[in-house]
Structures are given as C-alpha cells and as structure tokens.
Amino acid sequence: MSKITKPSPTTVVPDHDVKSEAERYQIAAAKQQFLSAALGMSWQLAIVVLVPIIGGYKLDVHTHSTPVYTITGFVIAIVGMVIVVWRQLLLLSPTTPRKGSHK
C-alpha cells in the first residue's frame, strides 16, 4: 500500500505585507513607546488611587468616624486618575509640542 502525502502548502506573502527595515523599526519603536507609557501610567495610577483611599480609611478608623475621609480619599483618587491619564495623553499625542522642539 502506498502512503499518500499531503502536498506542502506554498506560502505566498502579499506585497502589502512586506515591510521595509525602516517600517519594522518604526513599528518596534511604537510598541516600545506604548509599553513604556503603559507601565509608567500603571504605577502612577496605583499610587494615585491607593494612597488617598487607604489614607482616608486609616483616618476613619483612627477617628472612629463615618466614612467621610474614605469618601474624600476616593474623590481625590478620581481627580488624580484624571490628571495622570490627561498628562499621559498629552505626552503621547503627536500634535502636542515637546520640550525643546520649536515648530
């Protein structure tokens, strides 16, 4: 009995998928910039959210009060989150002039 083999598929790469070295470098640089921005923003958000809320909770426990300080910490955390995200968007925006650039 003869063994039937499946024909090997030929790989055809469309011309629009072929990228030059410069395009690949730009894509890699954009990915690196995104990852750097995401990591930077994540630790900033963690600090901006956790410090006011935990601090407010600890103040409420210490003063035996209703959750006034916790709610205040929550509001401060929301404002801080907006500021961190806004700064990050301005930093990554291609239309925002950077320091040292003269357009």
Mean pLDDT of 41-65: 94
List pLDDT tens digits, range 10-44.
665 555 555 688 888 888 888 998 898 889 899 99
Residue-wise pLDDT tens digits, 61-96: 999 988 999 999 999 999 999 999 999 888 888 776
Structural domain of 50 = 29-92
Q: DSSP character for 67?
A: T
Instruction: Let me know if residue 101 belongs to a domain.
Output: no
Would residue 47 count as lying in a domain? yes
Q: What is the pTM of this model?
A: 0.65
- Residues 67 and 72: their CA atoms lie apart, in Å, by 8
Amino acid making up residue 35: L
Angle (nearest 5°) at CA 102 between 100 and 103: 140
Give the percent of the chain with pLDDT over 70: 74
Give the sign of the dihedral formed by CA 80, CA 49, CA 51, CA 72: positive
For residue 70, the model assigns a pLDDT of 95
Answer whether residue 20 is part of any domain.
Answer: no
Give me the helix-helix angle, 21-63 and 68-92, nearest 10°.
Answer: 170
